[in-house]
A = this chain, B = another copy of it.
Amino acid sequence: MDERVSEHAQLLVDWSARIEPGDDVVVSVAEDAHDLAEAVAETLGERGANPMFTYASDELTRAYLQAHDGEFEPDPDHELALYEAADVVLRLGGGRNTAAMADVPPDRKQAHSRARKGIREARMATDWVSTVHPTRSLAQQAGMAYEEYREFVYDAVLRDWEALAEEMQQLKEILDAGSEVTLRKERTDLTMSIEGRTAVNSCASVAYDSHNLPSGEVFTAPAATEGEVSFDVPMTINGKRLRDVHLTFEGGEVVDFSAGENEAELASILETDDGARRLGELGIGMNRGIDRYTDNILFDEKMGETVHLALGRAYDACLPEGESGNDSAVHVDLITGMDEDATLSVDGEVIQRDGRFRWEDGFDG
């Protein structure tokens, strides 16, 4: 087996999930993620953990949802019991067709998802981590050859996470101490309050409240957004390609918007609920192992020298204890490159210029 598959498994088990002897682990295996699952099984054997493997197949889910009448029983006992008793959940993504559920009616999917709220919460209460095994289907979605895509995934995953965590800690401390963030680039001059908010150093480990491998971003929950912003990275949302999105904010809310393609989809997102017109997340991508967009949010939003803003729901980890942030049924990330004629400032001091941080280039903020 490719040595990188074993390294991936070891990073996942040790750095990301911090698995200890005796931990009860659910390993969710997507179609075609068998090789990574085998390496994870080996690593869990070495660590003396107790794995149980589930099969996560979009094709099976589609067959079930298509046949069902849509009246789903809430939180079936057996699955709830499994996650309530688990210490760790490792999700090994993959798949053989990213469009495998394309013909399932959206309301059927939503009803199924609503009926599984307790199961989802039980899973999120474990030390869960999501990762992906590079499959041909994901390579196709990225527009890449299979071998090329494998290189891409392992460049993103097999980082020196300890070193990146230290670097990201500097940005977290600046954001935690700051009150206001400003982004400036072409057709972009946006100011957000981050007063009283806590940034997450998302370095792909549950020890840092970070649940994705790869990760490599620092994110917080902004408020009181004012100004305009352009997103030059295309994104596929609900199967629709959004391109050249431009938003204008007043008093924290979107008051004007446009998109170069599928503007109606953007309108529909903004109309979901009140929270969908406000920002829930400001994230700063710092994983330079990710050097291109692959239309997969797990990778795209972590790309070095980018910033993403999410319309909708905020993460509790960024908010003072007991305070709830922006609430919404949606969380839609939009990404903008910061590598050319762009600055990110905190309280008037430039922290990042043209993609380089102050501590990298030693420029004077």
Residue of B with least CB distance to A65:
B45
Interface centre among A71, A82, A85 (most CB of B within 10 A): A82
Interface centre among A46, A48, A50 (most CB of B within 10 A): A50
By a CB distance below 8 angstroms, the chain B residues around A347 are none
Whole-angstrom CA separation of A65 from B42 in the bound complex: 8
User: In the complex, how many angstroms separate the beta carbon of A51 from the nearest chain B beta carbon?
Assistant: 7
Whole-angstrom CA separation of A82 from B51 in the bound complex: 13
By a CB distance below 8 angstroms, the chain B residues around A52 are 54, 76, 78-79, 82
The answer to whether A68 touches B53 (Cβ under 8 A) is: no
Whole-angstrom CA separation of A77 from B84 in the bound complex: 10
- Secondary structure at the A interface, as helix, strand, loop or mixed, is helix
Q: How many copies does the complex hold?
A: 2
By a CB distance below 8 angstroms, the chain B residues around A25 are 78
14 A-B residue pairings within 8 Å (CB atoms): A25-B78, A26-B78, A34-B59, A41-B63, A41-B67, A42-B64, A43-B67, A44-B67, A45-B68, A53-B55, A78-B86, A78-B87, A81-B82, A82-B82
The answer to whether A53 touches B45 (Cβ under 8 A) is: no
Q: Assuming the A-B contacts A41-B60, A45-B64, are A24 and B77 also in contact, with contact meaning beta carbons closer than 8 angstroms in the complex?
A: yes
Whole-angstrom CA separation of A25 from B1 in the bound complex: 34
By a CB distance below 8 angstroms, the chain B residues around A76 are 24, 50, 52
Q: Assuming the A-B contacts A48-B68, A81-B85, are A31 and B34 also in contact, with contact meaning beta carbons closer than 8 angstroms in the complex?
A: yes
Q: Does A69 contact B (CB under 8 A)?
A: yes
3 closest A-B pairs (Cβ-Cβ)? A45-B67, A50-B76, A81-B81
Residue of B with least CB distance to A88:
B78
The answer to whether B67 touches A60 (Cβ under 8 A) is: no
CB within 8 Å of B: which residues of A? 22, 24-26, 29, 31, 34, 37-39, 41-46, 48, 50-57, 59-61, 63-69, 71, 73, 76-87
The answer to whether B57 touches A54 (Cβ under 8 A) is: no
The answer to whether B67 touches A42 (Cβ under 8 A) is: yes
Whole-angstrom CA separation of A61 from B41 in the bound complex: 7
Contact of A85 among B26, B44, B59, B78 (CB under 8 A): B78
The answer to whether A66 touches B82 (Cβ under 8 A) is: no
The answer to whether A64 touches B85 (Cβ under 8 A) is: no
Whole-angstrom CA separation of A48 from B46 in the bound complex: 41
User: In the complex, how many angstroms separate the beta carbon of A149 from the nearest chain B beta carbon?
Assistant: 23
User: In the complex, how many angstroms separate the beta carbon of A228 from the nearest chain B beta carbon?
Assistant: 47
The answer to whether A57 touches B53 (Cβ under 8 A) is: yes
Residue of B with least CB distance to A45:
B67
Whole-angstrom CA separation of A84 from B85 in the bound complex: 12
By a CB distance below 8 angstroms, the chain B residues around A80 are 85
**Beyond A26-B78, A45-B63, 14 extra complex contacts between A and B, CB < 8 Å:** A24-B78, A34-B59, A37-B60, A42-B63, A43-B67, A45-B68, A48-B69, A53-B54, A54-B54, A78-B82, A78-B86, A80-B85, A81-B82, A81-B84
